[in-house]
Amino acid sequence: MSDLAPPARFSRPGPGGFLGYVAVLLLVLWAMEGAGWSVERLVASPPKLADFFARAWPPSTHNLDRLAWKMVETLQIAVAGAAIGIVLSVPVALLAARGVLVGRGVNWAVRTLLGFIRAVPDLAWALVFFVAVGLGPFAGMLAIVIDTIGYCGRFFADDMENTDPGPAEALGATGARRLDIAACATIPAALPAFVSTSLFGLEKAVRSSTILGLVGAGGIGIELKVGFDLFDYPTALTVILMIAVVVIGVEQIGALLRQKIMGPGR
């Protein structure tokens, strides 16, 4: 019977591994303390949530046309910002991709810049652009542009680095310039991955644009903030449901397009 016993799922950790587990546990506990973890408040939350949904249901249908136009504005911010950001990401990615166009020093500098862009939240970028262009959807669109460059620029670079080097090496053997090799071999080989990454970037832009209105960058987010500020919970619930429907719809469309482009399982 002992020969039929299933193998152990986890090996016994050594002293170093055990100390590592303890360190991770202490780190999580420290983070939870800093985040204000409270069992009492968590236990007391269900009645408050039930009261919120009782006061918010049914969702409001007043001013539905105005809310719909705000959602359209949100999509305009997302699509325009993502489109511009995706186009600008290609030359940035060419500078960030190792062994494609420029040397490692430039690669490192551009990748560091892309890391900085990704590290700053899109809400913070929106606040920065408020100073430059003022409140409104234009600032939100510019924030989406920068956020998309940070996201797509990094992954476009990785996509180019992961292409088959054979065609590029063959062109290089004929004396072709690096720019010609990138345009004729590297980018065409990475194009399906570019399209897939761009669709993810669009989905990310739609999710981001729905909350940029919270800081005055236009779109549906301001309606959500006003609803909660005025305790108009039915309107707030309507906005939440609209956001959920639009974001899920865009994600489903993106998944279908990626499946057609990249094949099943992508």
Could you report the average pLDDT of every consecutive run of 10 residues in the chain (266 residues)?
58 75 87 78 78 78 82 86 90 82 81 87 84 80 89 85 73 71 75 82 84 74 78 82 84 77 56
Residue 5 lies in a domain: no
Domain that holds residue 167: 64-262
Same domain, 38 and 75: no
Same domain, 100 and 129: yes
Same domain, 91 and 41: no
Print burial letters for 130-142: b (CB count within 10 Å at least 16), e (below 16): beeeeebbbbbbb
Same domain, 72 and 33: no
Same domain, 24 and 73: no
pLDDT at 75: 86
Same domain, 44 and 22: yes
pLDDT at 10: 63
Residue 99 lies in a domain: yes
Same domain, 23 and 145: no
Same domain, 18 and 77: no
In 3D space, the residue among 85, 87, 95, 84 whose CA is nearest the CA of residue 157 turns out to be 95
Same domain, 77 and 38: no
Same domain, 173 and 221: yes
Residue 105 lies in a domain: yes
DSSP string, 103-163: -HHHHHHHHHHHHHHHHS-HHHHHHHHHHHH-SSHHHHHHHHHHHHHHHHHHHHHHHHHTS
Query: What is the CATH number for 206?
Result: 1.10.3720.10
Residue 227 lies in a domain: yes
Residue 208 lies in a domain: yes
pLDDT at 20: 81
Domain count, the chain: 2
Same domain, 115 and 31: no
Handedness of CA 159, 165, 169, 170 (dihedral sign): negative
pTM of the entire predicted model:
0.75
pLDDT at 215: 73
CA distances from 107 to 198, 217, 219, 240 (A): 21, 33, 36, 41
Taking phi over 0 as left and psi of -120 to 50 as alpha, with beta for the rest, 219 belongs to left
